Every structure is written in structure tokens, then in C-alpha cells.
Amino acid sequence: MKKKKVAIIGAGISGLTAALYLKRANIPFEVFEKTAEVGGRMKSELVEGLIVDHGFQIFLTSYPEALSVVNYADLEFTPLTKGFTLCKNKKKYFLEYPNGRYRNVFNMLRYPFMDIKSLWNMAKIVVYLRSTSLKKIFSQKDIPTHKFLKNRGLSDDFISHTLQPFLKGIFLENNLETSSKVFQYVLKMMLSGSIVVPTNGMGAIPKQLYKNIGTNYFHFFKSLEKIENENLFFEDGYKTSADFIIDTRPKTFQKKANQNSLFVFITPNKVLKACELAVFENNPLGISNLVQFSNLYVNSRDVEYIGISVNNKVSESNKLDSKKILEYITNYFDTTDWKWIKTHHIPYGLNNQEQVNYSYKKEIMAQKEKTYLAGDWNLYGSTNAAIHSGKCAAEAIIRRVNTNI
Ligand SMILES: Cc1cc2nc3c(=O)[nH]c(=O)nc-3n(C[C@H](O)[C@H](O)[C@H](O)COP(=O)(O)OP(=O)(O)OC[C@H]3O[C@@H](n4cnc5c(N)ncnc54)[C@H](O)[C@@H]3O)c2cc1C
């Protein structure tokens, strides 16, 4: 009997995961990717000897779906400090997460925007999240994170001077309109594992999957134009057919996108002493955070890598140049020896996350008899969601192939 063939559209994390699961099930497949390389939104490139990510991203070792596809031991993870420096009114304030240590809980009370009631209510959220499954968290009603935090008794001061500056770099939006399910998910993941980045950049994760799958399954510069029944038509005129299709192209037309830009600088000096992340009060440029990596992403030991994330719309941030960013940052750090090396604009960062799902509903995933959808776009913006969706699409096809339906 002829084996069924699967075409996967897109070599981002979800497409790569689908490919890996199909390979393990011994089902023939091909991957068609629009660009020159794998990774989608999770890519790194070499600029002036530095490995630079397309956007500031972190990997949480507790992502439940990642363990079955990513080989952690091979990636040389570097942990980020669990804490941040808030930059506000030309002053800097350091906040360390308690990390299970009572001493740190008391230290938190020294942070000027912390009050006992908020600390106590935050602790209650933490206790709840530790004992609650992700499935249960995602079965709650979607409400904006700012409303959830207020309902849970956190003070306005604590929300706007602690959580908002930190979370806007994760949500890629400034007003905490993102569903509180995403907030709870991120916090639960942070509490149960480490916050890390691979020493060779986030792009090392998709590259690892690509290597493990086998490079001969991939076709690059193949941009899909349309699908008609089992036929796939590409923009360069190439045509092919498949028994099943997994389509991971982000469906930007369905939901609004959260946009982001990353400005990358190098400097010979360390600018952050106590931790590696600084977050910013609301500012006209939309700067959300600054991250410094020492001897990480850097081939030369003489320079430090500084990445500054901006959440403003791309049309606006295109007009912003690195000089304006530096002018603002000078309020907090000495930037005299900083050299700009790259700006990445990411028009489609994350889908708007006011309403999120834990997994694809069957009727959404199997849109047509032969086409399955995957990708983080209809779930929540996370590597874990992308992996989960790719796995579910592959498993649905594996079931059909094995039962000959
Ligand atoms: C700035 C930023 C920060 C982030 N931070 C984090 C973080 O800290 N932690 C975290 O877990 N997640 C983070 N994410 C989210 C994470 O990167 C995504 O959830 C994940 O990479 C999505 O993978 P995907 O496969 O669903 O989609 P994509 O990566 O978008 O993959 C889709 C692929 O399809 C290809 N494609 C598109 N159209 C076509 C076509 N017509 N034909 C063929 N191929 C096509 C694209 O080129 C791409 O390779 C962040 C994202 C951004 C942008």
C-alpha cells in the first residue's frame, strides 16, 4: 500500500514539531518554508561577530511540551537572574523574586512600590498557581490582566510600577489588556522552572530540531499561494500534492497583532550590576525593557550585548532611530560608548491575546478534510503553544493514517 504523504507549510517551531512527530511515526512528509531558513519568529543571526536574536525572547525550562522535542542538554542554557531593575523618574529600583526564600520576601518590602497587602495577595496567587493545572487555568473566563490583578487585591501602585513594566515586555503590549490566563500561565511556568536562553541564541532551538529531523525534508524559498483540495500552489509556480496538509502560517487576518522591535547595541562596559534585565515605566517611545548579556551571544569577550525592546507600532518605531532610544536610556545608564549594530522590526510579534485557548478545538484544527492548522496564533503566544499545536496536528494525522480513515 502506498504510504500517505504530508506537506507541512512553515518551518517555525510548530511546523518543526509536526515534522518531528511524523518522522517518529515513520510517515513521509515534506516541509515548505517561505524564507531561507528554519525558526520563523525564533531566529538568531550573526552581526559583527555577535549572535543576535530577532526580538528578545526567553525559554522557560518548565514548558511541558518542550521536553519531548527539545534536547536541553545540547543547548547550553544560561539562566537569567530572577529579578529586574525598574527605571522610573530617572531612578533605578531593584526587585528580586523571592525564589522560595523568606529573606527575599522581606527584601521585597524594601521595594518602594510594594505594600504588605499586595505582597500577601500576590503570595495567594502564587499558591493557587502552584496547585492548579494549566488546563484549569485556561478554562477560566478571559479577562484583561489589569482587571484580574485589581480583582485580586493588588494595589494600583504595585500593578503600575512592578507588574506592568515587567509584563509589557512579555505581552508585547503596554496596557495589560492581554488575557489573565496568559499572565497566570507565564507566572506558573516561571515559578516551576528556570528562565534561560541558549548560549548560541534562541535560534539554536529550531536549528536543533532541523538537524534532528534531517535537512533533506525541507524546501526553502517556497511560499505557498493557495491550497485546492490535495494540491498546493506556490508563488514561484511550483505545484505539488499531498494526502494531508499541516498549515502553520500565522493567520494575521483573524486577530490583531502585537508588534515589537529590538534595538541591539554593543559596549565594552557592564551597565547592569545586580541583574540582567531592566524594565521601564511608560514612556513615549514605547521602550519596554533592556537586557544585557555578558559572554552570551558574544563571540568576542571585549564587548557586552545590549538589547532594547520597543512595543510601539512598526510605522512609528521605523521613525525612531537608535539616537532617540539612546537619549532616553541616558536618563538611567551611561551610553557614551554604546554602538548601535542592528534593529529588528517584527510587524507580527504575537497575535492579540485578549482571548486565548489552551489547545486547538477539533473543528478549528481540521478546517478541511485534508488540512490541519497549527501555530501559536489561535492559542497563546508561546513556544510551548507552538510545540503543542504542531504535535496535535501531527497526532491527528498519524491516527488517521494508522486507522486508514
Ligand atoms: C518579540 C517576540 C518575543 C517573544 N518572546 C517569547 C518568549 O519569551 N517566550 C516564548 O515562549 N515565546 C516567545 N515568543 C513567541 C514565540 O516566538 C512564538 O510563539 C513561536 O515562535 C511561534 O511559532 P510558530 O511555528 O507558531 O509560528 P512562526 O514562527 O511564525 O512560523 C511560521 C512559519 O511559516 C512560514 N510561512 C509564512 N507564510 C508562509 C507561506 N506562504 N509559505 C510557506 N511558509 C510560510 C514563516 O516564514 C515561518 O517560518 C515571542 C515572539 C516574539 C515575536
H helix intervals, 257-329:
314-319, 322-329
Give one word for 76, left, alpha or beta, with left for phi > 0 and alpha for psi -120 to 50. Answer: left
Å from CA of 282 to ligand 1 middle: 27
Strands (E), 130-286: 195-198, 218-219, 224-228, 231-234, 239-241, 244-247, 257-267, 277-280
What is the per-residue pLDDT for 315? 62
346 lines ligand 1 (CB under 6 A): yes
| Atom of ligand 1 lying closest to residue 262 CA | 1
Å from CA of 97 to ligand 1 middle: 29
Report which protein residue has its CA nearest ligand 1's atom 3: 57
Above pLDDT 90, what percent of the chain?
67
Q: Is 180 a residue whose pLDDT tops 50?
A: yes
- Segment 81-109 shows an average pLDDT of 80
Sign of the dihedral defined by the CA atoms of residues 377, 383, 388, 391, in that order = positive
| Atom of ligand 1 lying closest to residue 13 CA | 25
Å from CA of 103 to ligand 1 middle: 39
250 lines ligand 1 (CB under 6 A): yes
| Atom of ligand 1 lying closest to residue 381 CA | 19
The set of cell numbers assigned to 152 is: 485580586
Closest CA to 65 of 23, 21, 103: 21
Ligand 1 site-directed mutation target among 248, 254, 261, most atoms within 8 Å of CB: 248
Å from CA of 377 to ligand 1 middle: 9
| Cβ-count burial 337-371 (b if 16+ within 10 Å, e if not) | ebebbbbbbbeebbbbbbebbbbbeeeebbeeebb
| Atom of ligand 1 lying closest to residue 14 CA | 25
Report which protein residue has its CA nearest ligand 1's atom 1: 55
116-157 pLDDT, tens digit each: 999 999 999 999 999 999 999 999 999 999 999 999 999 999
* Count of Cβ atoms closer than 10 Å to residue 81 Cβ: 15
Residues 6+ apart with CB under 8 A from 43: 37, 53, 54, 202, 203, 206
307 lines ligand 1 (CB under 6 A): no
| Atom of ligand 1 lying closest to residue 349 CA | 53
pTM of the model: 0.95
Helix (H, G, I), strand (E, B) or coil at 161: helix
Closest CA to 76 of 296, 301, 276: 296
Cβ–Cβ under 8 Å, residues 346 and 258: no
226-245 pLDDT, tens digit each: 999 889 999 999 999 999 99
Å from CA of 336 to ligand 1 middle: 35
- Give the pLDDT band of residue 102 (cuts 50, 70, 90): low
53 lines ligand 1 (CB under 6 A): no
Identify the weakest region by mean pLDDT among 96-105, 106-115, 155-164, 207-216: 96-105
Supply the Cα-derived Rg of the chain in whole angstroms: 22
* Count of Cβ atoms closer than 10 Å to residue 7 Cβ: 24
Sketch the domain layout of the chain as residue ranges: 6-43+202-254+354-403
CATH superfamily entry for domain 6-43+202-254+354-403: FAD/NAD(P)-binding domain (3.50.50.60)
Å from CA of 93 to ligand 1 middle: 33
CA–CA distance, 58 with 61 (Å, rounded to integer): 10
252-285 pLDDT, tens digit each: 656 678 889 999 999 888 877 645 799 999 998 9
260 lines ligand 1 (CB under 6 A): yes
CA–CA distance, 291 with 271 (Å, rounded to integer): 10
315-344 pLDDT, tens digit each: 666 666 788 899 999 999 999 999 999 998
Å from CA of 13 to ligand 1 middle: 7
